[in-house]
């Protein structure tokens, strides 16, 4: 499976961001499933989910402090990579 994500280390905190479809953010069970997926992919670290609307505006779901931090970061500043897991 291929997916777009980033691992960020900021202020001695490492966390992962996984790009998801907007519909995932609207479904508690889908959100939980993707957070668990992120932990399996990156290990025991906080996972934030990110979806973009039709205009490219991001919405984040995850730990409040990390979401507040990301609200002040331009999306193109995030070191996105394509990951593949089997």
31-44 tens-digit pLDDT: 999 999 999 999 99
The 3-state DSSP composition of the chain as helix, strand, coil percent (nearest 5) reads: 35, 35, 30
CB 47, CB 16: distance < 8 Å: yes
Question: Does residue 55 have a pLDDT over 80?
Answer: yes
pTM score, whole prediction: 0.93
What percent of the chain has pLDDT above 90? 94
Q: Which residues contact 86 (CB under 8 A, 6 or more apart)?
A: 1
Question: Does residue 18 have a pLDDT over 90?
Answer: yes
pLDDT tier at 86, thresholds 50, 70, 90: confident
Domain chopping of the chain, boundaries: 8-77
Which whole number is the average pLDDT over 20-40? Answer: 96
């Amino acid at each position: 499976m291929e997916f777009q994500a980033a691992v960020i280390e900021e202020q001695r905190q490492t966390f992962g961001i996984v790009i998801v479809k907007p519909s995932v953010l609207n479904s508690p069970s889908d959100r939980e499933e993707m957070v668990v997926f992120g932990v399996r992919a990156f290990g025991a670290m906080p996972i934030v989910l990110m979806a973009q609307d039709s205009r490219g505006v991001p919405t984040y779901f995850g730990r409040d402090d990390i979401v507040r931090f990301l609200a002040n970061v331009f999306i193109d500043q995030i070191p996105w990579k394509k990951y593949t897991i089997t």
